[in-house]
Amino acid sequence: MALAMDEFRRLLADRGYRVTAQRLAIYELLQENARRSYHPSAEELYQQARERFPMISPATVYNTLELLVELGLASQLGFPGDVQRYDGNPHAHANVQCVDCKAIFDVDAEALEDIGQRVAERSDFVILGQRFEFYGICPQCQARRAREETQARPQAGDAGAATGSAAG
């Protein structure tokens, strides 16, 4: 659930968390990134936050991101062992991650809400959230792989020349 800043302030206060300028800025930055369908790492958010708060610590960014995930305002994405990225888009969507370059893309998927409702009905669970992640190779990496394959193949003339020189 994306919240307006005043709603976010109220949520923090209602849950007993301090409302700090740094927390507000990190949430705002995460929302700005989400509007661009970008999934920043904690380090990227830290660098962005430092532009507004030069003395902010990496721990503040990491702790705030953990809090946002706990509150359901962000999701942590990525492969185990890789740099984790954060998604501030709370609306039903799927994430597609490239296994080569690690880029993550949002794909609108309105039908996902129906899936959550059906799962709730069949399991008697109260569904608090859902996450759909797909893994594959993005168009740019597909093109790069095709170029690399083409360059790695020996040319028809090269094979004959190599055979002819070895025989002579």
DSSP 3-state of 44: helix
What does the longest C-alpha to C-alpha distance in the chain come to?
A: 86
141 among annotated binding-site residues? yes
149 among annotated binding-site residues? no
101 among annotated binding-site residues? yes
Rounded CA Rg of the chain? 23
What is the per-residue DSSP string for 115-130? HHHHHHHHH-------
| Bridge pairing between strands 132-136 and 93-98 | parallel
Phi, psi (deg, nearest 5) at residue 80: -55, 135
User: Which element (helix H / strand E) includes 47?
Assistant: helix 42-52
110 among annotated binding-site residues? no
Residue numbers in the known binding site are 98, 101, 113, 138, 141
Residue numbers in the known binding site for Zn(2+) are 98, 101, 138, 141
Residue numbers in the known binding site for Fe cation are 113
